[in-house]
Structure 1
Amino acid sequence: MKGNSRESRFGKREKRKKTNIILNSLIALVIILIIFVSAKIFFGGNNDQAQTADEQTASENNSKQNEKNKENQNKDAEEDKGNVEKDAEEDEKEAEENEAEENEAEEDSEEEKEQVVTEGGSAPDVEKTIENSAWKPVGTSQSGEHTAVYDQNHVDWQEMLSAISYATGVDQGNMTVWFLGNNGPNSSVGTISTKDQSEKYRVYIDWVEGEGWKPSKVEVLNAI
């Protein structure tokens, strides 16, 4: 009986031991599964988040690049438009300048055709006399009844010099005025030269109402 009882207890211990091993194995397996699932969820979630963040960053970068490209295109279009407008303005300005030069050349040609040059003149110091029916009044800023004013600070004096410069071709900046005075009603006469006195002239001008002083005769002088 004692032998059977020992064997029975031994068998029960072995059975409990096997059961504990199985349970422990199952518990370990469950723990491993839990760790595996948790790790997958954690790291997988981070990877998904990282991927989402990368995709969002890439999308934002693409959007910014597209906006930049669009801005550059608009800028280039505006620059092209500005260049076209500038070229058009320059072409128009050049055309106007060419037209003005052509008109001036035509006027000069017309004046040359109408110009009459004779040797000598009103005095022994006159080398030759030039008259030209194509000469025109130089214009005026004055209005009302006109009276010649021989004052260097007066507008009338400046307009007389403009007429003299127009008739002789001597720029006022290179002009020395030796005399400018009355030559009868609405008429004046001036004696001028270039600053180096290589050119010397006596110029007769007449007042045209509303249009200014008009050259009537130029005498080329051999002495002042």
Structure 2
Amino acid sequence: MSEQKPELSRVRRKRQNNKGNKMLNWMIAIVVLLIVLVGVKILSSDSTPENKEAAITETTPDDETGSIVSSDDETEAENNSGSSDQADDSEDDDSSKEGTVSDESGDSEDSGDSSQKKEDKKEGTVTYTASEDAVVDETVSNTSWEPVGTSQSGNHVSQYDGKSIDWKEKQKALAYATGMSENELIFWKIKNGGSPQKSIGIVSSKDKSKKYRVYLEWVDGEGWKPTQMDVLNTLDFDY
């Protein structure tokens, strides 16, 4: 019995060693398998579109902000640049159109200037001249004065009857020269001005604070036109 014990011990040790080797081999196999799985996973993740895009992404610093601009951003920037160029072209076209409108506006302004010139011409030049006449403070002339119009036709005959159309048109011309309405005036006298086509009218405001002597001249087809106006300081004179 004592002679078999060492053999049994060797067998047991051998079996134990075999079991230990098997366990070690399994562990090695598991580790290798894990390494393979991890490698496959890494390779598969590297091959995904996102990683591919990440792999080809170039980073460039933005000069102004220091931010990172990818190649995709550059592509988008180029697209935006193309859009901007198109927008600029569109704006240029709009500018051309606006220029046309502006030219039309300029024509309108020129037209406005012409109208203004006409108005200035219509306003004319008013001249005040001192008079040596004792009853006259000053004499006024206005280049803008025009004939007041007439409803008369044919050969003109000046009338002083106080009721005719010609008489009423004389009153209208006198009021026009003074800048007052006929209802605001007293017509003291309207008389012949030295020829058949000239008249003189003496008028004043209702309160007599304003007093005038107006010289009229007939214009064929257009009516009576003021030519001169004396600003009077009194009505107490022979008229």
TM superposition score normalised by structure 1: 0.50
Residue by residue over 1:120-175, the C-alpha shift from the partner in whole angstroms, topping out at 9 and shown as x without a partner, is 25x21000000122211000000000111011110111100111111111210011
| Number of the residue aligned with 1:90 | none
Aligned residue number for residue 143 of structure 1: 153
2:199 is aligned with 1:197: no
Runs of 4 or more consecutive aligned structure 1 residues displaced over 2 Å after TM superposition: 109-113
Query: Contact between 2:124 and 2:143, CA under 8 Å: does it hold in 1?
Result: no
- Equivalent residues, number: 120
d(CA) in 1 for partners of 2:189, 2:139: 18
**Pair 1:188 & 2:186 matched:** no
**2:224 equivalent in structure 1:** 213
How far is 1:118 from its partner? 0.8
1:21-170 superposed matches below 5 A: 107=119, 109-110=120-121, 112-120=123-131, 123-170=133-180
Structure with the larger RCO, 1 or 2 (CA within 8 Å, 6+ apart):
1
Separation in structure 1 between the aligned mates of residue 122 and residue 201 of structure 2, nearest angstrom: 21
1:127 is paired with a residue whose SS is: strand
Larger radius of gyration: 2
CA positional deviation for 1:113 = 4.2
Within 1, Cα distance between the matches of 2:122 and 2:200? 21
Residue identity opposite 2:187 in structure 1 = V
Find the residue that maps to 1:198 and give its secondary structure. Answer: coil
Query: Are the aligned partners of 2:212 and 2:231 in contact in 1 as well (CA < 8 Å)?
Result: yes
Tell me the equivalent position of 1:222.
233
Structure 1: gaps (5+ residues): 1-102
Aligned to 2:189: 179
Give the alignment's Cα RMSD to 1 decimal: 2.1
The percentage of counterpart residues that share the same residue type is 43
- What is the distance in 2 between the residues matched to 1:189 and 1:215? 9
Contact 1:111–1:132 (CA under 8 A) maintained in structure 2: no
Structure 2 gap ranges (5+): 1-114
C-alpha distance after superposition, 1:81-130 (max 9, x if no partner): xxxxxxxxxxxxxxxxxxxxxx89x74x5455411111125x21000000
Tell me which protein shows more helix as a share of its residues: 1
Change (3 A) 1:200 1:111: farther
Q: Report the secondary structure of 2:175's partner residue.
A: helix
What code does the residue aligned with 2:224 have?
Answer: W
Tell me how far apart the structure 2 counterparts of residues 127 and 112 of structure 1 sit (CA, whole Å): 23
